[in-house]
Amino acid sequence: MDMSQVLPEECLAHIISYTSPPDACRCALVSRNFQSAADTDVVWKGFLPSDLDEIISSSPASSSSQLTALSKKELYFHLCNNPILVNNGIRSFALEKHGGKKCYMIGARGLSIIWGDTPSYWTWKPLPDESRFSEVAELRYVWWLEVKGWIDAKILSPKTTYAAYLVFKLTDSTSGFDKRLVELSVTFEGSAGEEKHHVFLDVPPEYDMPPLPRERSDGWMEVEMGEFFYDSEDVGSVVAFLKEVDNYTTKNGLIIEGIEFRPKEGK
């Protein structure tokens, strides 16, 4: 018996809404009736965050009006592939494609960068063809490198394992990072026992111990800073931390786009 011939479309849509985005896409391949039900707003609204309207309202007016004109399915995949700027352009928001979990990147202007407002140490510059943000931070010259990013855990998707990633590039004239480890960590603010990672940003050829920086689809590099599980309790803010404090070595040529918080792959 063909269920799509027996059950009305709204019934099929209600059933499909209890599955997942990949399952809904598979259902759409079964038959025309299934496709009609699987593509409805009833199905895809359930895959979108409940506070999405509030999130979109903090994006630029032009983006907001464009997004509200899309169907729920179109909106879902648009946000998976096209991060939008929110919070006055300091952050970007996107969805993780498999399950619709929230992803945020804190742009460089939203980070705490030691001496970041001292022009002799850091330069703020636009990279309109490369970055989603209006400005990125380029390191000119420091002995002491320290960068922090905060995000309120309650805006993330609950019951989810997240990881924080430093999103960066190195210029052709980079120095001070070759064969020199930087310290990365992620922890809930105020908690003890943070786990620290020591990684190379400018990776020596002989180095093969994870985590390693890797190239992203947008052309930037990223390296995992650490992971955490958010279980929807009132845990406050999550802090991601980068530090390199060798006072005998100057550092330059690091370009920071931001720190991204997104669901951990495979978890």
- Which tens digit of pLDDT belongs to each residue from 223-246? 999 999 998 776 789 999 999 987
Residue 267 pLDDT greater than 70, yes or no: no
Backbone phi and psi for residue 5, each to the nearest 5 degrees, phi listed first: -90, -15
Q: Is the pTM of this model over 0.85?
A: yes
Contact 167, 257 (CB under 8 A): yes
In order of 59, 126, 132, 184, 186, the CA distances from 91 in angstroms are 10, 15, 10, 21, 18
Contact 151, 262 (CB under 8 A): no
For the residues 171-196, what does the mean pLDDT come to? 87
Nearest to 102 by CA among 165, 168, 154, 41: 154
Contact 230, 156 (CB under 8 A): yes
pLDDT tens figures, 48-76? 999 999 999 999 987 888 998 999 999 99
For the residues 109-133, what does the mean pLDDT come to? 97
The residue whose two tokens read 């920071």 is: 256
Residues in the chain: 267
Nearest to 195 by CA among 233, 163, 221, 169: 163
| pLDDT-above-90 percentage for the chain | 72
